[in-house]
A and B are shown apart, each in its own frame.
Chain A
C-alpha cells in the first residue's frame, strides 16, 4: 500500500491507528491524517489512495457520511474503507458493510486485529 488516509477527530486516535499500521508492516506507506470526514474527502481527491481508515463519530462530516460519499463517487468507490469506532455493535456493523465498508473494528484496535482485517488487501 502506497497511501493511506486516516480520519479521526482525535490526534491520539490517529496516532494509535498509525502505530498499528506501522507495526503490521505498512510503515512505508504515506499516511495522511484528517480531523473529520470532509478533510478526509479532500485528501482522497488529491491523489490515488489505497486505504481509508476512519472513525464514525466526528464533527463536520461523520464517518458514515464519508463512507456514503466515497461509495457514491465513481472515482473512489473501489477504495477499501475500514471503520474504527467506539460506537460499534452488530446492527451497526451490518448497516455499514451494506453501505460498502470493508470492515468495522471496535476501539481500542490492536495490531493483531488490524493485520487479520487487512491481510487480504496486503497480498
Chain B
C-alpha cells in the first residue's frame, strides 16, 4: 500500500513539475531511452533535513536539460552553458522534492529541505533504504532516487 502511494506521489510530482515548467509529458522508460550517466548527464542531490533524514537525487541527460531550458528560457541550444544546466537540474529537483513531500507527508507535517547540490561525485550523506524511478521525457532519461528509511516507513 505504502509502495503504491509512493509510486503515485513520485509520478505525480515529476509529471506536474515538467508539465507546468516546460509543457513536457513523462512516460515509463523504454528499451531505447538514453539513460543519464556521468558521461551524458548531470546529477543533483538535496537533503531532507526534517522530519526525517534522507535525500532526493535527480539525474537527467544533458540533452533533456537543454530541451527544458529551450522551453523555459526560450534560449537557442548553442547559447546554453553548463551553469544553466546545473541551475535547471537543481530547480527541477527542488520543485519535485518539495511537491513529493507535500503530497506524501500528512497535511499537518512540516518539513525542511536543504539546497540542491549538483555533481556526480558528492559524498554520500544519507543512509538507509533507497529506490530509483526511471522515466523518460521525449526519449531522454530521468532518474529520481529516494534515500532514507523515512520514505519507506509505515
Contact = CB atoms under 8 A, between A and B. Distances in A.
B102 A89 contact: yes
B98 A107 contact: yes
Given A59-B115, A86-B95, A12 B110 contact: no
Q: Please report whether the interface of chain B is mostly helix, strand, loop or mixed according to DSSP.
A: helix
B113 interface: yes
A11 B72 CA distance: 11
A107 B90 CA distance: 13
Interface string B78-107: 000000100110110011011101100101
Contact of A110 (B20, B87, B115): B20
Contacts, number: 72
B17 interface: yes
A86 to B, nearest CB: 3
B16 interface: yes
Interface range on chain B: under 10, 10 to 19, 20 to 34, or 35 or more?
20 to 34
A13 interface: yes
A85 interface: yes
Given A10-B91, A11-B84, A86 B99 contact: yes
A120 interface: no
Interface string A88-108: 111110000000000000111
B62 to A, nearest CB: 15
Contacts of A59: 115
A57 B108 CA distance: 20
A12 B115 contact: no
B20 A109 contact: yes
A20 B17 CA distance: 14
Interface in B8-28: 16-17, 20-21
A108 B94 CA distance: 10
B102 A108 contact: no
Nearest to A59: B115
A57 B16 contact: no
Contact of B72 (A12, A85, A107): A12
Contact of A12 (B87, B108, B109, B112): B87
Contacts of A15: 72-73
Contacts of A9: 115
A7 to B, nearest CB: 14
Contact of B90 (A10, A88, A110): A10
Q: Nearest 6 A-B pairs (CB), nearest first?
A: A86-B98, A108-B20, A12-B91, A10-B91, A107-B95, A91-B110
